[in-house]
Amino acid sequence: MSNSKSRYDIDFENGRVEKDWFALKGEFPERVSDCEEFLRNNPEDRRKAIGILKKLKGRHKGKLQYDITKNDARVWYFVDRKERMVVIKYAGHHPDKY
């Protein structure tokens, strides 16, 4: 039996990020669904996301990045452990590519 208390809620930093999340979901539905499931259950467990989850550095320190595709699409997020909330800060293609 699963404990719903252990799951995280997902929120978006703003409407633009939410729109970008759903655009990414339209482009890569299965991969974004996998990401969503990961964020709800294990948002910081790097062992469950080897090669697709990393801690960001520099001006993005404190955020995590989940790679939707190998070199391009990604999601940046922050985990609020106390509130059991994942806040998505960015969803889309690599910001330096466009």
In a domain, 39, yes or no: yes
In a domain, 3, yes or no: no
In a domain, 45, yes or no: yes
* Residue 70 binned pLDDT confidence (cut-offs 50, 70, 90): confident
Q: What is the pLDDT of residues 6-27, one digit of tens each?
A: 799 999 999 999 999 999 999 9
In a domain, 19, yes or no: yes
Question: What is the domain range of residue 71?
Answer: 8-92
In a domain, 1, yes or no: no
Alpha-carbon distance 22 to 60, whole Å?
23
pTM tops 0.75: yes
Residues 46/65, Cβ–Cβ less than 8 Å? no
The share of the chain scoring above pLDDT 90, in percent, equals 80
CATH number at residue 48: 3.30.2310.20
Query: What are phi and psi for residue 51, nearest 5 degrees?
Result: 85, -10
Q: Please compute the mean of the pLDDT values over residues 47-56 and round it to a whole number.
A: 88
In a domain, 17, yes or no: yes
Number of domains in the chain: 1
